[in-house]
Structure 1
């Protein structure tokens, strides 16, 4: 299945190409910009309101870097479809500020 980050990256790249080369294409660039906005909105809508904090803003700022790493990892997975990749588990606790109730105060 295609990762959502790569879907967002592909939509952004196609919208940018259509914006730059709009005179040679039959479909106008604002269709792709609308599609990009709807794709971003569809990724933000399922989030509850309590997650719209500075942590989300920080994660959105790192989104281009995460997209690049995800794109590069697609080409580095050699035997992922033919073999089982075991994930070692060493910890049993949850280390996430959103789930353990200890919100950091500014």
Structure 2
């Protein structure tokens, strides 16, 4: 379970909904998931685009900026799964919490 005040979870979900396409999944990992958090712990997020393709740099930068400018009282660190070193993936897969599942990518009618 995500160790974060429900009020801040709601704020985070608003930022995610506002700044990220619906098909991008958001997972939390690290101390706020594995039970080692303290009041000053940051929140680690990883963003997973459809097909695990890299996110556009501007999209990630704008989301990070929105997190920094928000009223969240903790630092939130967001990473793109596709650009993290593959050696880091098992650490996340070992223990994570889905903050938002990615919606299926929209299909274009034929």
Could you say which TM-score interval applies, normalised by the shorter chain?
Answer: under 0.3
Write 1 or 2 for the structure with the bigger share of strand: 2
Give the structure with the higher percent helix: 1
Q: TM-score, normalised by structure 2?
A: 0.25
**Structure with larger RCO (C-alpha < 8 A, sep 6+):** 2
Q: What is the TM-score when the length of structure 1 is the normalising length?
A: 0.26
